[in-house]
Structure 1
Amino acid sequence: MIVRRNDLVVFLVVAFGLSWLFALWPWIGNKKVPSVFVSSAAVWMMLTPTLAVLALWWYRRRSMPELVAETGSRLGSRPRQTVWLIVAAWFGTAAFVWLAFGVSVLLGMNEFDFSLGVDWTVLIILEALVGSTLATLPLALGEELGWRGWLQPQLTGRFGVAFGLVATGVIWGLWHLPLTLRGYNYPELGAWAAAVFVVTCVFFGLVLGWLRMRSGSVWPCVVAHAAWNAHAIGVSAFGSLDEKPNQLLSGHGGVVGWVLLALLAAILFLLFPVRGNDHTDPNAPAIQEPAAPPAPTAS
């Protein structure tokens, strides 16, 4: 894969430019979390990384088969393994979010509200596991085609696995600035939510990055991203209304989550190593670079 600096510039300018454009609503109206304006902006923003990839492909005059191949939109060279990774991402991400919540409760950082009863508890968990995850898949795809589908292979191919994964996570987190500066995801932290969310994106991005390289496909990342968002909403239903948790420390997006994500990433990379070129599907059609124009001949 030939990595061009101009490609990175085009992708980042479009992705970040459109994210701020779609997020103008809450800024112009001075709306803060929670707000329907902020939620609507978040929905539209999640499509901008894919729009950036499409803009890049228009700029480079590439074909659709090349677009599909380079973004890992197939199931990779080992489809059966990819399917299992999709299943693992679906249920594993759900288990992780609830584990982080449980650890936070055990450490006294959060309180579990038992007033919902067993029936409602099971219903909320199942709804997050199936309904919300499926409903969130298109928006998660909108992000992941850009971040893990296109950007991550570019950065790991140019700078190596470690730096490439961290850089992808940082860019992913900074892309959320139009919302996180308004306290999105961490309303109690205000503008500090922006810095906290960057750290969360780096740690979660390590796991998503491993899924991308291990499978050669973006689909396990899409499912994990959708499940993360779905269960983040589901688990919030069980928090105590009387005692607000410390958002910096507790839950899957706080320090507890960071530690658990770091441990999970270390286990995955140590037990199942990957390489920087593992994004490539050997069965995908080769991407042809345009031929250089012939040199002028002397008359």
Structure 2
Amino acid sequence: GGNTIMKRIVIFLAVTFILTWGYEFGVVYPIATGGIAGIPPVATQFVIGAAMFFPALGVLITRLITGEGFKNSLIKPRAFKKSFPWFLLAWLAPAVLATIGAGVYFLAFPQDFDPSMTAMITAQQQAAAATGTGIPTETLSLMMLVQLPVAVVLGPVLNIFTTFGEEWGWRGYLMPKLGAKMRIVPCMLATGVIWGLWHAPLTALGHNYGLGYPGWPVMGILAMCVFCTVMGIIFSYVTIRTGSSLAAAIGHGALNAFVAATALFSVTGGNPFVGPLSTGIVGGSAFVVVAAVMLWDLHRREKAGSLDLPQAGLPDGIRKGDEKAAS
């Protein structure tokens, strides 16, 4: 059939959304809303984190049922020399951009800047006191500051399993498939909005944007779509330049490891729609600028005919057995 790519996209999205949303409404919601008692918060985090594996499962199932096999999996990167700079960028840029955005936020809202992390340290000390242990302020502040470089260096590796679960789906399958069907700018916007909507049940539950804001949950879901579009352009860009969704997984892992760090220096914890967190329009401003430049560059390359978009799976109308027959 001439339109196999579209069929494969639809199957991938249907499988991924049905599995994820089914799991979130059926398992995560009852736990999060206290319907299932006695589950420690750490376990709840794991239960929520497990949803990150469904896009990869969506790719597996789609490739199997459409007879596509595992050709062009977008895992093995292109030549080391070409790929390495983009892997390095994916690894380090999220922390740098999150810090710049937080800097812009604290310049705009200096009254919210707390360089000595008082709010966070007080909270930690109260928690420690409740268990009958006292931790000196200096010790705590040092522990927190040490966590930041550790998050930058180790975060991407520690998070690679969960983030690959997402990125093999979004950047390793959906993005190149859509890219074979539409121009690069609409492809980036569509991938970002789809990725944002995929988060909707968790966003409605307060993930990333909290609860009780005006226009809940629609405003949070819209903000998540914007955030995912911006991040999705950056993750797509490093995937396109390396030919590997692992670059996106490393960038995504770096972002997840560092994203909460900037709130340590905020008196109030900030506003997730504004900053200092990267989910906010000011806190995320450096990401927005980089994403805009990357999007412009992809568009420029497409016009010049030099956009080397990696191909996921097989082209239109071809199944796994067909190439042998054709050759």
Give the structure-1-normalised TM-score: 0.83
Pick closer, same or farther for the CA change 1:195–1:38 going to 2, 3 Å.
Answer: farther
Pick closer, same or farther for the CA change 1:169–1:286 going to 2, 3 Å.
Answer: closer
Paired with 1:153 and 1:123, the residues of 2 have a C-alpha distance of 39
Shift of 1:30: 5.6
Shift of 1:180: 0.4
Corresponding residue pairs, total: 283
Paired with 1:205 and 1:54, the residues of 2 have a C-alpha distance of 21
Letter in 2 for 1:123: V
1:262 aligns to 2:279 (yes or no): no
1:114 aligns to 2:116 (yes or no): yes
Deviates more, 1:129-138 or 1:23-32: 23-32
Deviates more, 1:201-210 or 1:188-197: 188-197
The gaps in structure 1 that reach 5 residues or longer are 293-299
Decide which of 274, 298, 307 is 1:249's aligned counterpart. 274
Pick closer, same or farther for the CA change 1:99–1:285 going to 2, 3 Å.
Answer: closer
Provide the aligned C-alpha RMSD in A.
3.0
Shift of 1:270: 4.5
The match for 1:297 is none
1:179 aligns to 2:202 (yes or no): yes
1:148 aligns to 2:148 (yes or no): no
The gaps in structure 2 that reach 5 residues or longer are 35-39, 122-137
What CA deviation, in whole Å up to 9, does each residue of 1:52-100 have, x standing for no partner? 0000111023333x1xx2x311112x33221221111111111111111
Shift of 1:182: 0.9
Pick closer, same or farther for the CA change 1:62–1:156 going to 2, 3 Å.
Answer: closer
- Checking the alignment, whether the CA contact within 8 Å between 1:213 and 1:274 is kept in structure 2 is no
- Checking the alignment, whether the CA contact within 8 Å between 1:7 and 1:56 is kept in structure 2 is yes
Shift of 1:113: 4.2
Paired with 1:285 and 1:101, the residues of 2 have a C-alpha distance of 40
What CA deviation, in whole Å up to 9, does each residue of 1:87-123 have, x standing for no partner? 1111111111111112111110742341466733540
Pick closer, same or farther for the CA change 1:171–1:269 going to 2, 3 Å.
Answer: closer
1:18 aligns to 2:19 (yes or no): yes
Deviates more, 1:272-281 or 1:102-111: 272-281
What CA deviation, in whole Å up to 9, does each residue of 1:7-53 have, x standing for no partner? 11210111111111221233234628x95575234311100000000
1:134 aligns to 2:160 (yes or no): no
Paired with 1:180 and 1:261, the residues of 2 have a C-alpha distance of 20
Pick closer, same or farther for the CA change 1:88–1:30 going to 2, 3 Å.
Answer: closer
The match for 2:128 is none
Pick closer, same or farther for the CA change 1:184–1:120 going to 2, 3 Å.
Answer: same
Equivalent residue runs for 1:138-287 within 5 Å: 138-188=161-211, 189=213, 190-191=216-217, 192-240=219-267, 243-250=268-275, 251-270=277-296, 273-275=300-302, 278-280=308-310
Paired with 2:92 and 2:206, the residues of 1 have a C-alpha distance of 29
Paired with 1:219 and 1:266, the residues of 2 have a C-alpha distance of 22
Equivalent residue runs for 1:21-170 within 5 Å: 21-23=22-24, 24-29=26-31, 31=33, 39-64=45-70, 66=71, 69=72, 71-76=73-78, 78-108=79-109, 110-115=112-117, 119-170=142-193
| % identity of equivalent residues | 24
- Checking the alignment, whether the CA contact within 8 Å between 1:47 and 1:143 is kept in structure 2 is yes
Give the structure-2-normalised TM-score: 0.77
Shift of 1:2: 7.3
- Checking the alignment, whether the CA contact within 8 Å between 1:15 and 1:51 is kept in structure 2 is yes
What CA deviation, in whole Å up to 9, does each residue of 1:112-159 have, x standing for no partner? 341466733540212211333321111110000000000001112101
